[in-house]
Chain A
Amino acid sequence: EQGLQDAPAAAAPRNLSDYFKQFLFPQNECELHNFRLSFSQLQWDKWIIAPHRYSPQYCKGDCPRAAGHRYGSPVHTMVQNIIYEKLDASVPRPSCVPAAYSPLSVLTIEPDGSIVYKEYEDMIATKCTCR
């Protein structure tokens, strides 16, 4: 409060919720981003018959301090945030990482000319979290 009396009257924020949002939810917030690749770009289409294109997606962005509420992060994530802010800045802030995935079906040609259809786990990120 001491600081507030002397400071010039700052422009009153449009509304308090917007004002407080900047503290809770960073601009570049941790979220899922689209990324679409085709196997021919990696020259893997020589043995991968299907699918031709694949969207692994990825997670990117800053983790808010109240990661628990928004991302279901464990308490440890908030503790790590506190350590970074209060105790040791060399301890990294929580990272924005995938939290759930979808499988992918792939049809490939084996070296002996046989063909295999296989469903692989955890190939497409579908949700992000802070950890």
Chain B
Amino acid sequence: PHSRERTVPEKIPAFLVAPEDNPHRIHPLLRLPKGVRRGYALLPPLLKVLSEQGRRDWQGAAPRLRPDSRALRYMKRLYKMSATKEGIPKANKSHLYNTVRLFTPCSECQHRHGELRRGDLHSVDLLFNLDRVTALEHLLKSVLLYSFDTSVPVPSPATCTCHLSIKEYDFSSQVCPSASHSVAFSLHFEFRKRRWVEIDVTSFLQPLIATNRRNIHMAVNFTCLLGDAQRNTEQEGSRNVALVPPSLLLYLNDTSEQAYHRRNSLRHRRRSPGRPVQRDAPLADALGTENAQSKRASRRRR
């Protein structure tokens, strides 16, 4: 179906779900010693809920697909920039998103990759399946993420033009997909310094994602003129740049209860100087702590 009612997430944070394929087989960790096997009821409530949740959520789910290694490297880098070593969201980050999803294009429609190596324009059909985006995750920004195969030496700088068009499947008239709307823009950058190029396509995809569109089908034509654009002729300059099909990055604001809402914490911190000191700061010398914080703030300002 074109768009389907998104499922509202369960109370349990999704990442706590145990991937049980076989609903009757208890997760190895949850298995009790032989003598107590029948005592399933003895399991701590949380573990019981997880295995129940795991069974319900993963009923007949296909084995988990391994993500693209480049995409994984990018997201690990994003994680390091956003969270401390202990995994706590960095306080100095003022972004409003609390969720970032990275989708790699579905494989079946990357048939045109064979032609990429011929050195002509880099155009590819991309189909992104956005089923994992929940109803409470609202789009803030969407980016096409290109990574360059840095093993291939490429002279720099480069001027790239990108032509993007969304393919609409008009099921009623059985006509082949027509490009409903498209946009073109160019970018100029130094290859040496970049391994990624992020192309902001928010305004382009916003109408689709806002209407709970589950599948986005787009054609992307990405051509780079290498070296000094003025001296190169069109054909000679536009050599193939070793590009990998782009991933789609969605910056989202999850308004569900389980998600961390940065705005609350910012408002809370702004109110704290005036906030009456809690009587229950048994160990911390509340006044001392407040002084320490204001000293640190003034030092930083200086």
Contacts and interface: CB of A to CB of B under 8 A. Distances in A.
A41 B41 CA distance: 22
B89 A113 contact: no
A72 B284 CA distance: 14
B202 interface: no
B88 A113 contact: no
Interface stretch (B95-103, B226-234, B238-246): B95-103
A43 B28 contact: yes
Contacts of A54: 86-87
Nearest to B87: A51
A116 B78 CA distance: 11
Contact of B258 (A46, A71, A99, A121): A121
A124 B75 CA distance: 23
Contact of A121 (B27, B87, B103, B261): B261
Interface residues on B, range: 35 or more
B82 A47 contact: no
B75 A107 contact: yes
Contact of B89 (A99, A103, A108): A103
A117 B65 contact: no
Scoring A43, A68, A103, A113 by chain B CB atoms within 10 A of each residue's CB, the highest score goes to A113
A105 B97 CA distance: 12
Contacts of A7: none
A49 interface: yes
Contacts of A41: 29
Nearest to A67: B280
Contacts of A115: 67, 71-72, 75, 101-102
Contact of A118 (B29, B65, B88, B98): B98
A114 interface: yes
B188 interface: no
Contacts of A118: 13-15, 98-100, 254, 259
B62 interface: yes
B interface, over-half SS: loop
Contacts of B262: 119
A121 B259 contact: yes
B257 interface: yes
Contacts of A1: none
Contacts of B71: 115
Contacts of A108: 14-15
A62 to B, nearest CB: 15
Interface string A20-55: 000000000000000000000111101111110011
Contacts of B66: 109, 113
Contact of B83 (A43, A70, A105, A129): A105
A6 interface: no
A105 to B, nearest CB: 4
A117 B74 CA distance: 11
Interface in B44-65: 58, 61-62, 64-65
A112 B129 contact: yes
9 contacts: A46-B19, A49-B76, A49-B79, A51-B86, A51-B87, A111-B64, A112-B65, A115-B75, A116-B132
Interface of B: 13-16, 18-19, 27-29, 58, 61-62, 64-68, 71-72, 75-76, 78-79, 82-83, 85-89, 98-104, 129, 131-132, 254, 257-262, 278-280, 282
Interface of A: 41-44, 46-51, 54-55, 68-73, 99, 102-122, 124, 129
